[in-house]
Structure 1
Amino acid sequence: MYQTDMYEGMLAETVTLPGANGDLINAYFARPLGPGPFPAMVVVHHLPGWDEWYREATRKFAHHGYAALSPNLYHRSGHGSVEDVAAAVRGQGGVPDDQVVADLAGAQRYLRSLPYVNGKVGIWGTCSGGRHAFLTACRAPGFDAAVDCWGGRVVMTKEELTPTQPVSPADYVADLACPLLGLFGEDDRGPTPAQVSQLEDALKVHGKQYEFHMYPGAGHGFFYYHLPAYRQPQAVDGWNKLFAFLDKHLAAPAGR
Protein backbone atom coordinates (compact mmCIF):
# COMPACT_ATOMS: atom_id res chain seq x y z
CA MET A 1 0.00 0.00 0.00
CA TYR A 2 1.22 3.49 -0.88
CA GLN A 3 2.59 5.55 1.99
CA THR A 4 3.35 9.27 1.76
CA ASP A 5 6.91 8.87 3.04
CA MET A 6 7.92 6.01 0.74
CA TYR A 7 10.55 6.29 -1.98
CA GLU A 8 9.10 6.37 -5.48
CA GLY A 9 10.79 6.42 -8.86
CA MET A 10 10.29 5.06 -12.34
CA LEU A 11 12.32 4.27 -15.45
CA ALA A 12 10.55 4.48 -18.81
CA GLU A 13 12.27 4.08 -22.16
CA THR A 14 12.18 2.53 -25.61
CA VAL A 15 13.98 -0.81 -25.94
CA THR A 16 14.37 -3.52 -28.58
CA LEU A 17 13.66 -7.22 -28.23
CA PRO A 18 13.66 -10.33 -30.42
CA GLY A 19 10.19 -11.14 -31.72
CA ALA A 20 8.86 -13.52 -34.34
CA ASN A 21 11.57 -15.15 -36.48
CA GLY A 22 14.19 -13.41 -34.34
CA ASP A 23 13.24 -10.00 -35.79
CA LEU A 24 14.27 -7.11 -33.57
CA ILE A 25 11.23 -4.97 -32.78
CA ASN A 26 10.93 -1.87 -30.64
CA ALA A 27 8.97 -1.75 -27.40
CA TYR A 28 8.12 0.67 -24.62
CA PHE A 29 9.30 -0.41 -21.19
CA ALA A 30 8.54 1.03 -17.76
CA ARG A 31 9.42 -0.23 -14.30
CA PRO A 32 9.69 1.04 -10.74
CA LEU A 33 13.20 1.95 -9.61
CA GLY A 34 14.66 -0.26 -6.94
CA PRO A 35 15.79 -3.88 -6.67
CA GLY A 36 12.37 -5.50 -6.77
CA PRO A 37 11.40 -8.21 -7.16
CA PHE A 38 8.55 -6.91 -9.33
CA PRO A 39 5.80 -8.84 -11.11
CA ALA A 40 5.78 -8.23 -14.85
CA MET A 41 3.18 -7.40 -17.49
CA VAL A 42 3.13 -7.66 -21.27
CA VAL A 43 0.98 -4.73 -22.43
CA VAL A 44 -0.68 -5.36 -25.82
CA HIS A 45 -1.71 -2.29 -27.81
CA HIS A 46 -4.93 -1.94 -29.78
CA LEU A 47 -5.57 -1.43 -33.49
CA PRO A 48 -5.49 2.35 -33.27
CA GLY A 49 -1.80 1.59 -32.79
CA TRP A 50 1.17 1.75 -30.46
CA ASP A 51 -0.03 5.12 -29.26
CA GLU A 52 0.25 7.60 -26.40
CA TRP A 53 -2.56 5.99 -24.42
CA TYR A 54 -0.66 2.72 -24.36
CA ARG A 55 2.50 4.44 -23.17
CA GLU A 56 0.49 5.97 -20.35
CA ALA A 57 -1.00 2.56 -19.55
CA THR A 58 2.48 1.03 -19.47
CA ARG A 59 3.60 3.67 -16.98
CA LYS A 60 0.42 3.09 -14.98
CA PHE A 61 1.45 -0.53 -14.49
CA ALA A 62 4.92 0.60 -13.42
CA HIS A 63 3.35 3.03 -10.93
CA HIS A 64 1.48 0.08 -9.46
CA GLY A 65 4.68 -1.90 -9.02
CA TYR A 66 4.97 -3.86 -12.26
CA ALA A 67 7.74 -4.13 -14.83
CA ALA A 68 5.67 -3.47 -17.94
CA LEU A 69 6.61 -3.98 -21.58
CA SER A 70 4.53 -2.91 -24.59
CA PRO A 71 5.98 -4.23 -27.87
CA ASN A 72 5.25 -2.49 -31.16
CA LEU A 73 3.32 -5.16 -33.04
CA TYR A 74 3.30 -2.96 -36.16
CA HIS A 75 7.10 -2.56 -36.30
CA ARG A 76 7.39 -4.38 -39.64
CA SER A 77 4.82 -2.15 -41.32
CA GLY A 78 7.12 0.85 -41.14
CA HIS A 79 7.45 3.90 -38.94
CA GLY A 80 5.86 7.33 -38.86
CA SER A 81 2.82 8.74 -37.12
CA VAL A 82 0.68 6.27 -35.21
CA GLU A 83 -2.23 7.05 -37.53
CA ASP A 84 -0.23 6.40 -40.72
CA VAL A 85 1.19 3.13 -39.46
CA ALA A 86 -2.24 1.94 -38.30
CA ALA A 87 -3.70 2.80 -41.71
CA ALA A 88 -0.99 0.73 -43.37
CA VAL A 89 -1.74 -2.19 -41.07
CA ARG A 90 -5.46 -1.98 -41.82
CA GLY A 91 -4.65 -1.97 -45.53
CA GLN A 92 -2.67 -5.16 -45.07
CA GLY A 93 -5.60 -6.88 -43.38
CA GLY A 94 -4.02 -6.65 -39.93
CA VAL A 95 -0.93 -8.34 -38.55
CA PRO A 96 -0.84 -12.16 -38.72
CA ASP A 97 -1.93 -13.92 -35.54
CA ASP A 98 1.08 -16.25 -35.61
CA GLN A 99 3.46 -13.29 -35.79
CA VAL A 100 1.71 -11.48 -32.94
CA VAL A 101 1.81 -14.54 -30.68
CA ALA A 102 5.54 -14.96 -31.36
CA ASP A 103 6.22 -11.25 -30.71
CA LEU A 104 4.35 -11.38 -27.40
CA ALA A 105 6.06 -14.61 -26.40
CA GLY A 106 9.33 -12.77 -27.06
CA ALA A 107 8.18 -10.00 -24.74
CA GLN A 108 7.52 -12.58 -22.03
CA ARG A 109 11.03 -14.01 -22.46
CA TYR A 110 12.51 -10.51 -22.26
CA LEU A 111 10.75 -9.84 -18.96
CA ARG A 112 11.71 -13.21 -17.50
CA SER A 113 15.37 -12.46 -18.27
CA LEU A 114 15.39 -9.41 -15.99
CA PRO A 115 16.99 -9.99 -12.57
CA TYR A 116 14.46 -7.83 -10.72
CA VAL A 117 11.34 -9.66 -12.00
CA ASN A 118 9.74 -12.02 -9.48
CA GLY A 119 9.12 -14.83 -11.97
CA LYS A 120 5.45 -13.99 -12.60
CA VAL A 121 4.38 -12.51 -15.96
CA GLY A 122 0.87 -11.48 -17.01
CA ILE A 123 -0.56 -10.21 -20.29
CA TRP A 124 -3.21 -7.52 -20.86
CA GLY A 125 -4.74 -5.71 -23.77
CA THR A 126 -7.81 -3.82 -24.97
CA CYS A 127 -9.78 -4.07 -28.21
CA SER A 128 -7.61 -6.02 -30.70
CA GLY A 129 -5.01 -6.12 -27.92
CA GLY A 130 -7.52 -7.92 -25.71
CA ARG A 131 -8.02 -10.46 -28.48
CA HIS A 132 -4.27 -10.88 -28.87
CA ALA A 133 -3.77 -11.16 -25.09
CA PHE A 134 -6.31 -13.99 -24.89
CA LEU A 135 -4.95 -15.73 -27.98
CA THR A 136 -1.36 -15.52 -26.74
CA ALA A 137 -2.27 -16.76 -23.27
CA CYS A 138 -3.76 -19.83 -24.97
CA ARG A 139 -0.94 -20.46 -27.44
CA ALA A 140 2.27 -19.29 -25.75
CA PRO A 141 3.08 -21.21 -22.55
CA GLY A 142 4.31 -19.48 -19.42
CA PHE A 143 1.88 -16.66 -18.64
CA ASP A 144 0.59 -16.52 -15.07
CA ALA A 145 -2.49 -14.33 -15.68
CA ALA A 146 -4.32 -12.79 -18.63
CA VAL A 147 -6.70 -9.84 -18.95
CA ASP A 148 -8.95 -9.31 -21.96
CA CYS A 149 -10.66 -5.92 -22.08
CA TRP A 150 -13.47 -5.97 -24.68
CA GLY A 151 -11.43 -7.98 -27.19
CA GLY A 152 -13.44 -8.32 -30.38
CA ARG A 153 -13.19 -11.28 -32.75
CA VAL A 154 -12.28 -13.71 -29.97
CA VAL A 155 -15.38 -15.62 -31.03
CA MET A 156 -15.40 -15.78 -34.84
CA THR A 157 -17.59 -17.53 -37.39
CA LYS A 158 -16.05 -19.40 -40.32
CA GLU A 159 -17.09 -16.52 -42.56
CA GLU A 160 -15.08 -14.05 -40.46
CA LEU A 161 -11.79 -15.93 -40.71
CA THR A 162 -9.07 -14.31 -42.84
CA PRO A 163 -5.54 -15.20 -43.97
CA THR A 164 -4.11 -13.18 -41.06
CA GLN A 165 -6.70 -14.53 -38.59
CA PRO A 166 -7.23 -18.12 -39.76
CA VAL A 167 -8.53 -19.58 -36.47
CA SER A 168 -11.03 -18.22 -33.96
CA PRO A 169 -9.18 -17.61 -30.67
CA ALA A 170 -12.09 -19.22 -28.82
CA ASP A 171 -11.11 -22.51 -30.46
CA TYR A 172 -7.95 -22.50 -28.29
CA VAL A 173 -9.81 -22.27 -24.95
CA ALA A 174 -8.75 -25.80 -23.98
CA ASP A 175 -5.11 -24.64 -24.06
CA LEU A 176 -5.55 -21.65 -21.72
CA ALA A 177 -3.21 -22.38 -18.81
CA CYS A 178 -3.64 -19.31 -16.56
CA PRO A 179 -6.46 -17.40 -14.85
CA LEU A 180 -8.36 -15.01 -17.13
CA LEU A 181 -10.09 -11.70 -16.31
CA GLY A 182 -12.53 -10.25 -18.82
CA LEU A 183 -14.00 -6.72 -18.72
CA PHE A 184 -16.78 -5.93 -21.18
CA GLY A 185 -19.42 -3.31 -21.96
CA GLU A 186 -23.07 -4.26 -22.25
CA ASP A 187 -23.54 -1.87 -25.18
CA ASP A 188 -20.55 -3.18 -27.14
CA ARG A 189 -21.15 -4.57 -30.62
CA GLY A 190 -17.79 -6.29 -30.88
CA PRO A 191 -17.75 -8.32 -28.72
CA THR A 192 -21.49 -8.48 -28.18
CA PRO A 193 -22.81 -9.76 -24.85
CA ALA A 194 -23.88 -12.91 -26.71
CA GLN A 195 -20.30 -13.49 -27.89
CA VAL A 196 -19.01 -12.95 -24.35
CA SER A 197 -21.52 -15.53 -23.12
CA GLN A 198 -20.37 -17.95 -25.79
CA LEU A 199 -16.76 -17.56 -24.67
CA GLU A 200 -17.80 -17.96 -21.04
CA ASP A 201 -19.63 -21.19 -21.88
CA ALA A 202 -16.46 -22.56 -23.50
CA LEU A 203 -14.39 -21.62 -20.45
CA LYS A 204 -16.86 -23.45 -18.21
CA VAL A 205 -16.85 -26.56 -20.41
CA HIS A 206 -13.07 -26.78 -20.14
CA GLY A 207 -12.97 -25.99 -16.42
CA LYS A 208 -10.92 -22.81 -16.75
CA GLN A 209 -10.36 -20.28 -13.97
CA TYR A 210 -11.90 -17.00 -15.09
CA GLU A 211 -13.67 -13.87 -13.88
CA PHE A 212 -15.90 -11.84 -16.23
CA HIS A 213 -17.54 -8.47 -15.56
CA MET A 214 -20.15 -6.97 -17.90
CA TYR A 215 -20.75 -3.22 -17.37
CA PRO A 216 -24.18 -1.69 -18.06
CA GLY A 217 -24.07 1.68 -19.76
CA ALA A 218 -20.64 1.02 -21.30
CA GLY A 219 -19.68 0.16 -24.85
CA HIS A 220 -16.41 -0.49 -26.61
CA GLY A 221 -13.36 1.33 -25.24
CA PHE A 222 -14.83 2.61 -21.99
CA PHE A 223 -11.35 3.04 -20.43
CA TYR A 224 -10.29 5.59 -23.08
CA TYR A 225 -10.62 8.90 -21.21
CA HIS A 226 -9.74 10.90 -24.35
CA LEU A 227 -12.65 9.52 -26.41
CA PRO A 228 -16.45 9.86 -26.21
CA ALA A 229 -16.64 6.14 -25.33
CA TYR A 230 -15.17 6.85 -21.86
CA ARG A 231 -17.38 5.90 -18.93
CA GLN A 232 -15.80 7.15 -15.71
CA PRO A 233 -17.52 5.00 -13.03
CA GLN A 234 -17.18 1.82 -15.08
CA ALA A 235 -13.55 2.57 -15.97
CA VAL A 236 -12.56 3.24 -12.34
CA ASP A 237 -14.22 0.03 -11.21
CA GLY A 238 -12.62 -1.88 -14.09
CA TRP A 239 -9.12 -0.68 -13.23
CA ASN A 240 -9.71 -1.58 -9.58
CA LYS A 241 -10.84 -5.08 -10.51
CA LEU A 242 -7.91 -5.44 -12.91
CA PHE A 243 -5.27 -4.60 -10.30
CA ALA A 244 -6.95 -6.74 -7.63
CA PHE A 245 -6.87 -9.67 -10.05
CA LEU A 246 -3.24 -9.11 -11.03
CA ASP A 247 -2.08 -8.55 -7.45
CA LYS A 248 -3.70 -11.86 -6.50
CA HIS A 249 -2.06 -13.86 -9.27
CA LEU A 250 1.25 -12.06 -9.92
CA ALA A 251 2.41 -10.21 -6.82
CA ALA A 252 3.86 -13.21 -4.96
CA PRO A 253 7.27 -14.44 -6.13
CA ALA A 254 7.18 -17.63 -8.21
CA GLY A 255 7.07 -20.76 -6.09
CA ARG A 256 5.16 -19.24 -3.14
Structure 2
Amino acid sequence: MSFYRGMSCGNVSITGDGGMPITAYVAKPEGKGPFPGVVLIHHLPGWSEFYIETTRRFAHHGYVAICANLYERAGAGHPDDVAAKVRAEGGIPDAQMVGDTAGAVAWMRGQPEHNGKVGLFGSCSGGRHAVIYASQRKDVDACADLWGGRVVMGPDELNAKTPVAPIAMTKDLSCPLIGIFGNDDRAPNPDQVNQHEAELRKHGKDHEFHRYDGAGHGFFYWHRPLYRPEQAMDAWGKLLAFFGKHLA
Protein backbone atom coordinates (compact mmCIF):
# COMPACT_ATOMS: atom_id res chain seq x y z
CA MET A 1 0.00 0.00 0.00
CA SER A 2 1.01 3.61 -0.39
CA PHE A 3 1.50 5.60 2.81
CA TYR A 4 -0.82 7.24 3.50
CA ARG A 5 -3.67 6.21 1.25
CA GLY A 6 -6.62 8.51 0.71
CA MET A 7 -10.13 7.18 1.12
CA SER A 8 -13.76 8.05 0.59
CA CYS A 9 -16.35 7.41 3.31
CA GLY A 10 -20.08 7.73 3.70
CA ASN A 11 -23.42 6.04 4.26
CA VAL A 12 -25.16 3.82 1.73
CA SER A 13 -28.46 1.94 1.76
CA ILE A 14 -28.37 -1.83 1.36
CA THR A 15 -31.11 -4.45 1.19
CA GLY A 16 -31.35 -6.22 4.52
CA ASP A 17 -33.31 -9.17 5.84
CA GLY A 18 -36.79 -9.41 4.38
CA GLY A 19 -36.00 -6.73 1.80
CA MET A 20 -35.80 -3.94 4.38
CA PRO A 21 -33.50 -1.01 3.52
CA ILE A 22 -30.61 -0.83 5.99
CA THR A 23 -28.10 1.99 6.42
CA ALA A 24 -24.44 1.00 6.24
CA TYR A 25 -21.21 2.94 6.64
CA VAL A 26 -18.67 2.44 3.87
CA ALA A 27 -14.99 3.33 3.53
CA LYS A 28 -13.12 2.80 0.25
CA PRO A 29 -9.41 3.23 -0.47
CA GLU A 30 -8.38 5.73 -3.09
CA GLY A 31 -7.78 4.17 -6.51
CA LYS A 32 -9.31 1.63 -8.85
CA GLY A 33 -8.14 -1.47 -6.99
CA PRO A 34 -8.87 -4.28 -7.12
CA PHE A 35 -9.24 -4.29 -3.34
CA PRO A 36 -10.35 -7.11 -1.03
CA GLY A 37 -13.41 -6.47 1.12
CA VAL A 38 -14.20 -6.62 4.83
CA VAL A 39 -17.75 -6.73 6.21
CA LEU A 40 -17.83 -5.59 9.83
CA ILE A 41 -20.54 -6.95 12.15
CA HIS A 42 -20.89 -4.56 15.07
CA HIS A 43 -21.14 -5.47 18.73
CA LEU A 44 -24.02 -5.08 21.19
CA PRO A 45 -23.03 -1.49 22.01
CA GLY A 46 -24.34 -0.95 18.51
CA TRP A 47 -23.36 0.90 15.37
CA SER A 48 -20.82 2.76 17.44
CA GLU A 49 -17.92 5.14 16.95
CA PHE A 50 -15.49 2.25 17.41
CA TYR A 51 -17.02 0.36 14.48
CA ILE A 52 -17.20 3.44 12.24
CA GLU A 53 -13.55 4.17 12.98
CA THR A 54 -12.55 0.54 12.44
CA THR A 55 -14.30 0.57 9.06
CA ARG A 56 -12.01 3.44 8.08
CA ARG A 57 -9.02 1.61 9.52
CA PHE A 58 -9.57 -1.29 7.14
CA ALA A 59 -9.81 1.15 4.22
CA HIS A 60 -6.49 2.66 5.28
CA HIS A 61 -5.02 -0.83 5.01
CA GLY A 62 -6.35 -1.30 1.49
CA TYR A 63 -9.76 -2.90 1.98
CA VAL A 64 -13.20 -1.83 0.84
CA ALA A 65 -15.07 -1.96 4.16
CA ILE A 66 -18.74 -1.84 5.11
CA CYS A 67 -20.52 -1.90 8.47
CA ALA A 68 -24.31 -2.22 8.39
CA ASN A 69 -26.53 -0.86 11.16
CA LEU A 70 -28.04 -4.09 12.44
CA TYR A 71 -30.17 -2.13 14.91
CA GLU A 72 -31.90 0.05 12.30
CA ARG A 73 -35.27 -1.51 13.09
CA ALA A 74 -35.00 -0.27 16.69
CA GLY A 75 -35.28 3.33 15.53
CA ALA A 76 -33.11 6.41 15.32
CA GLY A 77 -31.14 8.00 18.13
CA HIS A 78 -27.75 7.92 19.80
CA PRO A 79 -26.11 4.50 19.30
CA ASP A 80 -25.90 3.97 23.08
CA ASP A 81 -29.64 4.56 23.50
CA VAL A 82 -30.58 2.36 20.55
CA ALA A 83 -28.28 -0.40 21.81
CA ALA A 84 -29.83 -0.19 25.29
CA LYS A 85 -33.26 -0.72 23.75
CA VAL A 86 -32.02 -3.71 21.74
CA ARG A 87 -30.30 -5.18 24.80
CA ALA A 88 -33.49 -4.83 26.86
CA GLU A 89 -35.34 -6.75 24.16
CA GLY A 90 -32.84 -9.62 24.31
CA GLY A 91 -30.80 -8.70 21.24
CA ILE A 92 -31.67 -9.30 17.61
CA PRO A 93 -32.62 -12.65 16.05
CA ASP A 94 -29.71 -14.58 14.59
CA ALA A 95 -31.68 -15.14 11.39
CA GLN A 96 -32.26 -11.40 10.96
CA MET A 97 -28.54 -10.74 11.44
CA VAL A 98 -27.72 -13.28 8.73
CA GLY A 99 -30.15 -11.61 6.34
CA ASP A 100 -28.78 -8.12 7.01
CA THR A 101 -25.17 -9.28 6.75
CA ALA A 102 -25.95 -11.06 3.49
CA GLY A 103 -27.06 -7.68 2.18
CA ALA A 104 -23.71 -6.17 3.12
CA VAL A 105 -21.83 -9.04 1.48
CA ALA A 106 -23.92 -8.67 -1.68
CA TRP A 107 -23.22 -4.92 -1.74
CA MET A 108 -19.50 -5.65 -1.43
CA ARG A 109 -19.50 -8.17 -4.25
CA GLY A 110 -21.23 -5.63 -6.47
CA GLN A 111 -18.47 -3.01 -6.21
CA PRO A 112 -16.39 -2.59 -9.38
CA GLU A 113 -13.13 -2.09 -7.45
CA HIS A 114 -13.62 -5.25 -5.36
CA ASN A 115 -11.31 -8.24 -5.98
CA GLY A 116 -13.93 -10.92 -5.25
CA LYS A 117 -12.73 -11.81 -1.74
CA VAL A 118 -14.72 -10.97 1.42
CA GLY A 119 -13.73 -11.27 5.06
CA LEU A 120 -15.94 -10.92 8.14
CA PHE A 121 -14.86 -9.01 11.26
CA GLY A 122 -16.87 -9.05 14.47
CA SER A 123 -16.25 -8.54 18.18
CA CYS A 124 -18.30 -9.49 21.24
CA SER A 125 -21.81 -10.31 19.91
CA GLY A 126 -20.47 -9.45 16.44
CA GLY A 127 -17.83 -12.16 16.79
CA ARG A 128 -20.53 -14.67 17.62
CA HIS A 129 -22.56 -13.42 14.68
CA ALA A 130 -19.57 -13.70 12.33
CA VAL A 131 -19.14 -17.36 13.29
CA ILE A 132 -22.83 -18.02 12.66
CA TYR A 133 -22.78 -16.30 9.27
CA ALA A 134 -19.65 -18.13 8.11
CA SER A 135 -21.27 -21.40 9.16
CA GLN A 136 -24.62 -20.81 7.47
CA ARG A 137 -23.45 -19.10 4.29
CA LYS A 138 -20.74 -19.87 1.77
CA ASP A 139 -20.14 -16.40 0.32
CA VAL A 140 -17.23 -15.26 2.54
CA ASP A 141 -13.57 -16.21 2.36
CA ALA A 142 -12.28 -15.55 5.90
CA CYS A 143 -13.78 -14.86 9.31
CA ALA A 144 -12.47 -13.02 12.39
CA ASP A 145 -14.10 -13.71 15.77
CA LEU A 146 -12.90 -11.32 18.47
CA TRP A 147 -13.94 -12.62 21.91
CA GLY A 148 -17.38 -13.66 20.67
CA GLY A 149 -19.47 -14.67 23.66
CA ARG A 150 -22.14 -17.38 23.62
CA VAL A 151 -20.50 -19.43 20.89
CA VAL A 152 -20.75 -22.17 23.49
CA MET A 153 -24.30 -22.12 24.88
CA GLY A 154 -26.22 -24.25 27.34
CA PRO A 155 -29.73 -25.51 26.55
CA ASP A 156 -31.19 -22.89 28.89
CA GLU A 157 -29.67 -20.10 26.75
CA LEU A 158 -31.40 -21.15 23.54
CA ASN A 159 -34.58 -19.36 22.51
CA ALA A 160 -36.51 -18.18 19.46
CA LYS A 161 -33.92 -15.50 18.67
CA THR A 162 -30.90 -17.73 19.29
CA PRO A 163 -32.18 -21.24 18.51
CA VAL A 164 -28.86 -22.99 17.85
CA ALA A 165 -25.49 -22.60 19.59
CA PRO A 166 -22.82 -21.48 17.12
CA ILE A 167 -20.48 -24.26 18.26
CA ALA A 168 -23.08 -26.76 17.01
CA MET A 169 -22.62 -25.31 13.51
CA THR A 170 -18.86 -25.93 13.42
CA LYS A 171 -19.07 -28.76 10.90
CA ASP A 172 -20.57 -26.29 8.40
CA LEU A 173 -17.96 -23.53 8.81
CA SER A 174 -17.20 -22.50 5.24
CA CYS A 175 -13.94 -20.53 5.51
CA PRO A 176 -10.76 -20.08 7.60
CA LEU A 177 -11.34 -18.59 11.05
CA ILE A 178 -9.13 -16.46 13.31
CA GLY A 179 -10.02 -16.11 16.97
CA ILE A 180 -8.69 -13.36 19.26
CA PHE A 181 -9.28 -13.81 23.00
CA GLY A 182 -8.24 -12.42 26.37
CA ASN A 183 -7.47 -14.99 29.03
CA ASP A 184 -9.11 -12.82 31.69
CA ASP A 185 -12.42 -12.81 29.81
CA ARG A 186 -15.47 -14.43 31.38
CA ALA A 187 -17.64 -14.54 28.25
CA PRO A 188 -16.10 -16.44 26.59
CA ASN A 189 -13.94 -17.83 29.35
CA PRO A 190 -10.80 -19.85 28.52
CA ASP A 191 -12.62 -23.16 28.93
CA GLN A 192 -15.24 -22.12 26.37
CA VAL A 193 -12.52 -20.99 23.96
CA ASN A 194 -10.87 -24.38 24.39
CA GLN A 195 -14.18 -26.14 23.70
CA HIS A 196 -14.63 -24.14 20.52
CA GLU A 197 -11.12 -24.88 19.31
CA ALA A 198 -11.50 -28.58 20.11
CA GLU A 199 -14.62 -28.68 17.93
CA LEU A 200 -12.80 -26.91 15.09
CA ARG A 201 -10.00 -29.48 15.29
CA LYS A 202 -12.51 -32.33 15.41
CA HIS A 203 -13.99 -31.19 12.10
CA GLY A 204 -10.64 -30.34 10.51
CA LYS A 205 -11.42 -26.63 10.11
CA ASP A 206 -8.71 -24.16 9.09
CA HIS A 207 -8.30 -21.87 12.09
CA GLU A 208 -5.88 -20.02 14.31
CA PHE A 209 -6.68 -18.95 17.86
CA HIS A 210 -4.63 -16.36 19.77
CA ARG A 211 -5.00 -15.95 23.51
CA TYR A 212 -3.60 -13.02 25.50
CA ASP A 213 -2.63 -12.91 29.16
CA GLY A 214 -3.40 -9.70 31.00
CA ALA A 215 -6.35 -8.96 28.70
CA GLY A 216 -10.06 -9.41 29.17
CA HIS A 217 -13.19 -8.80 27.15
CA GLY A 218 -12.97 -5.99 24.61
CA PHE A 219 -9.27 -5.26 24.92
CA PHE A 220 -9.23 -3.50 21.50
CA TYR A 221 -11.61 -0.81 22.76
CA TRP A 222 -9.35 2.25 23.07
CA HIS A 223 -12.14 4.33 24.66
CA ARG A 224 -12.65 2.03 27.66
CA PRO A 225 -10.55 1.10 30.71
CA LEU A 226 -10.32 -2.50 29.47
CA TYR A 227 -8.07 -1.38 26.56
CA ARG A 228 -4.73 -3.19 26.52
CA PRO A 229 -2.50 -1.48 23.94
CA GLU A 230 0.34 -4.02 23.80
CA GLN A 231 -1.94 -7.01 23.37
CA ALA A 232 -4.20 -5.12 20.95
CA MET A 233 -1.29 -4.07 18.73
CA ASP A 234 -0.01 -7.64 18.53
CA ALA A 235 -3.48 -9.00 17.78
CA TRP A 236 -4.10 -6.38 15.07
CA GLY A 237 -0.89 -7.53 13.40
CA LYS A 238 -2.03 -11.14 13.44
CA LEU A 239 -5.50 -10.18 12.19
CA LEU A 240 -4.20 -8.15 9.24
CA ALA A 241 -1.74 -10.91 8.34
CA PHE A 242 -4.62 -13.41 8.37
CA PHE A 243 -6.76 -11.27 6.09
CA GLY A 244 -3.76 -10.55 3.90
CA LYS A 245 -3.22 -14.27 3.44
CA HIS A 246 -6.81 -15.23 2.67
CA LEU A 247 -8.20 -12.16 0.91
CA ALA A 248 -5.37 -10.84 -1.24
8 Å CA contact 2:137–2:174 kept in 1: the answer is no
The alpha-carbon deviation at position 180 of structure 1 amounts to 0.2
**Number of corresponding residues:** 248
2:145 aligned with 1:148 = yes
| 1:34-87 alpha-carbon deviations (Å, 9 max, x no partner) | 100000000111001101111000000000000000000000011101111011
2:227 aligned with 1:234 = no
Tell me the residue number matched to 2:221: 224
| 1:177-207 alpha-carbon deviations (Å, 9 max, x no partner) | 1000000000000000000000001101110
Tell me the residue number matched to 2:75: 78
| Counterpart among 177, 201, 206 of residue 204 in structure 1 | 201
Provide the C-alpha distance between the structure 2 equivalents of 1:91 and 1:186, rounded to a whole number of angstroms: 28
The alpha-carbon deviation at position 226 of structure 1 amounts to 0.8
Provide the C-alpha distance between the structure 2 equivalents of 1:126 and 1:114, rounded to a whole number of angstroms: 25
Tell me the residue number matched to 2:66: 69
Tell me the residue number matched to 1:254: none
Provide the C-alpha distance between the structure 2 equivalents of 1:197 and 1:51, rounded to a whole number of angstroms: 30
The alpha-carbon deviation at position 141 of structure 1 amounts to 1.4
**Structural RMSD (CA):** 0.9
Instruction: Give percent identity, aligned residues only.
Output: 55
Secondary structure in 1 matching 2:139: coil
Secondary structure in 1 matching 2:103: helix
Secondary structure in 2 matching 1:102: helix
Provide the C-alpha distance between the structure 2 equivalents of 1:199 and 1:186, rounded to a whole number of angstroms: 14
Listed as ranges, the gaps of 5+ residues in structure 1 are: 252-256
Listed as ranges, the gaps of 5+ residues in structure 2 are: none
Tell me the residue number matched to 1:133: 130
Secondary structure in 2 matching 1:86: helix
Secondary structure in 2 matching 1:131: helix
The alpha-carbon deviation at position 2 of structure 1 amounts to 4.1
2:56 aligned with 1:59 = yes
8 Å CA contact 2:131–2:143 kept in 1: the answer is yes
Provide the C-alpha distance between the structure 1 equivalents of 2:84 and 2:222, rounded to a whole number of angstroms: 22
Within-5 A mapping of 1:82-93:
82-93=79-90
The alpha-carbon deviation at position 163 of structure 1 amounts to 2.0
Tell me the residue number matched to 2:183: 186
The amino acid that maps onto 2:65 is A
2:31 aligned with 1:25 = no
| 1:137-157 alpha-carbon deviations (Å, 9 max, x no partner) | 111211100000000001101
The alpha-carbon deviation at position 161 of structure 1 amounts to 1.2
Provide the C-alpha distance between the structure 2 equivalents of 1:208 and 1:201, rounded to a whole number of angstroms: 10
Tell me the residue number matched to 2:6: 9
Secondary structure in 1 matching 2:193: helix
| Counterpart among 234, 241, 244 of residue 241 in structure 2 | 244
| Counterpart among 98, 108, 117 of residue 114 in structure 2 | 117
Instruction: State TM-score, norm by structure 1.
Output: 0.95
Provide the C-alpha distance between the structure 2 equivalents of 1:34 and 1:104, rounded to a whole number of angstroms: 26
